[in-house]
């Protein structure tokens, strides 16, 4: 695996690959890699000749009271995992390389839809930071395909919309949620969960599955379903951010006649914010 810390170095190598007709797949990450990330790398390798992974903890998508400075940084371990997973190139820039003119004057990419609800409602400015850094990374790597985990369902939807709106020549591909043995969605923030909380956090997934089963059985009282699921999470000792039923494509609130519905949830442990989702087709 070749490691690049500069835009120029990575571009030079990728340009040579493209002249040879090689197809480039891309997996952007913030590091602290787990098996879910490695599954994305392996999926990218199945449909591409060259797999590029980026590790960059993007300050632009963190709020004032969020954990940018505490976000786990495990670079050496990440490199070893990427080598074993078959990654060809790692792009690991610093803040100056990514934002040479500083964050305050950085040009921004704004998606005006789907960004002020769900995670966007509780994390103002988050998706502006995501779309800005992802568009920069797309311009740097110029991949044929980019792989994103479906665990961050709203992020995936926003990036797809951005790519469509800006006519970006990249195929956006989703990957299934990678889960722990007990069903908890894998996340870099799972390390923040305390030993006492750990047996209880699957209440989020269990609540979303309960809602899905109710809808498939014909229950269309969406508000009541959301409220009951939220109460279950509170009873388990956690704080609810949201439990929401949405149209799978638009992320508008689910309507009675929607045939594709995604149930999305987010909750807070003492030190972690966990998200999950489940899509159903009726």
* pLDDT tens digit sequence for 50-97: 999 999 999 999 886 677 888 889 999 999 999 999 999 999 999 999
15 class by beta-carbon count within 10 Å (0-12 exposed, 13-18 middle, 19+ buried):
exposed
So what's the pLDDT on residue 180? 94
Residue whose entry in the numeric block shows the structure tokens 């789907």: 114
Whether 34 sits among the annotated catalytic residues: the reply is no
pLDDT tens column, 131-144? 999 999 999 999 99
pLDDT of residue 255: 95
Q: What is the mean pLDDT of residues 46-52?
A: 98
Residue 122 has what pLDDT?
84
Contact 242, 262 (CB under 8 A): no
pLDDT tens-digit series, residues 172-220: 999 999 999 999 999 988 999 999 999 999 999 999 999 999 999 999 9
Would you state the structure tokens that stand for residue 1, as one six-digit string?
């695996």
If we measure between CA atoms, which residue out of 36, 41, 143, 32 comes closest to residue 82?
41
Exposed/middle/buried for residue 32 (C-beta within 10 Å: 0-12, 13-18, 19+): buried
Q: Which of 37, 92, 126, 178 is catalytic?
A: 37
Question: What are the CA-CA distances from residue 90 to residues 1, 14, 50, 185, 238 (Å)?
Answer: 7, 12, 11, 25, 37
* Structural domains present in the chain: 2-175 (3.40.50.620), 188-281 (3.30.1300.10)
Question: Looking at residues 7-29, what average pLDDT do you find?
Answer: 98
């Amino acid at each position: 695996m070749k490691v690049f810390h500069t835009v120029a170095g990575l571009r030079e190598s990728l340009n040579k690959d493209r002249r040879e007709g090689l197809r480039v797949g891309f997996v952007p990450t913030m590091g602290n890699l787990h098996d879910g990330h490695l599954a994305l790398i392996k999926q990218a390798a199945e449909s591409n000749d060259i797999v590029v992974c980026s590790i960059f903890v993007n300050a632009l998508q963190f709020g004032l009271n969020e954990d940018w400075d505490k976000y786990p940084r495990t670079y050496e371990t990440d490199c070893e995992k990427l080598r074993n997973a078959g990654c060809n190139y790692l792009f690991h820039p610093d803040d100056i390389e990514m934002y040479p003119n500083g964050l305050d004057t950085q040009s921004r990419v704004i998606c005006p839809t789907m960004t002020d609800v769900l995670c966007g409602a509780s994390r103002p400015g988050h998706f502006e930071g995501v779309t800005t850094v992802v568009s920069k990374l797309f311009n740097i790597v110029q991949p044929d395909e980019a792989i994103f985990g479906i665990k961050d369902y709203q992020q995936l939807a926003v990036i797809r919309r951005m790519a469509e709106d800006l006519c970006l020549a990249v195929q956006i591909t989703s990957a299934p949620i990678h889960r722990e043995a007990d069903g908890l969605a894998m996340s870099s923030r799972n390390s923040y969960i305390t030993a006492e909380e750990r047996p209880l956090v699957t209440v989020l997934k269990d609540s979303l599955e309960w809602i899905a089963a109710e809808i498939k059985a014909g229950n269309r009282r969406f508000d009541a379903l959301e409220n009951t699921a939220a109460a279950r999470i509170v009873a388990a000792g956690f704080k609810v951010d949201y439990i929401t039923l949405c149209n799978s494509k638009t992320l508008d609130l689910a309507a009675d006649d929607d045939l594709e519905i995604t149930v999305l949830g987010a909750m807070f442990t003492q030190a972690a914010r966990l998200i999950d989702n489940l899509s159903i087709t009726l």
